[in-house]
Homo-oligomer: A and B are copies of this chain.
């Protein structure tokens, strides 16, 4: 297998943490987004949509989305389980992962890509350039606040997002929340359940990656 990573971007970090939590070591190639390597001909041959992470399986199948990479590795390397151990928990893992991506990941990316001067013309990830929409960055900031509320509500009921144990959506949310610093957002002081959850994940060896 070959894992295409980028040490500075949040999406590949999600896959990197998942791989580390599985205790796997996979041949890794670094794609520098700062140097525009995701748009170069070599990488576009691997993934024409110009996004990282990518996992190429031993059979040559190209998996370009975090959820696909995680599900594939979970099937091939079941221990430790990171996507639930019962049908209901497995469904809750997918549900919470989707909620975190939509309610957290999307507005955080929108806030950054539509406001940062260095991302001018790069408001959407992928091979096509799009202008920034400042009003969208503002709306996204409001939505990030709602996402923190949503996390806090859930983590007051449950130690981890999907179920009693640490699973994929915890990785997704952890990476998104650390990345939110680029748009000057951190877990609010009063969100004590979220802070306890964050500290527990921050203490895991994978979190250093």
- Write the chain B residue with the least CB distance to A76: B87
Contact of A158 with B by CB under 8 A: no
What is the bound-complex CA distance between A63 and B96, given in angstroms? 10
Contact yes or no, A59 B88, CB < 8 A? yes
Please state if B65 and A98 are interface contacts (CB–CB under 8 Å). yes
| Chain B residues positioned under 8 Å from A128 (CB to CB) | 146
A139 touches B135 (CB 8 A): no
Proximity bits, A129-151, B CB within 8 Å = 1, else 0: 01101011001001100100010
Please determine whether B94 and A71 come into contact, CB atoms closer than 8 angstroms. Answer: yes
Within 8 A of B (CB), among A148-193: 150, 153
Given A57-B88, A67-B67, A69-B91, 20 other A-B residues pairs in contact with their CB atoms under 8 A: A48-B153, A61-B88, A61-B91, A63-B91, A64-B95, A65-B98, A67-B94, A68-B98, A71-B90, A72-B88, A75-B91, A76-B87, A106-B106, A124-B139, A124-B143, A130-B142, A130-B143, A133-B133, A133-B136, A135-B135
- List B contacts of A46 (CB < 8 A): none
Q: Chain B residues near A68 (CB, 8 Å)?
A: 91-92, 94-95, 98
Asked if A99 is an interface residue, CB under 8 A from chain B, the answer is yes
Complex Cα distance, B153 from A76, in Å, reads 29
The contact of A130 among B87, B98, B133, B139, by CB within 8 Å, is B139
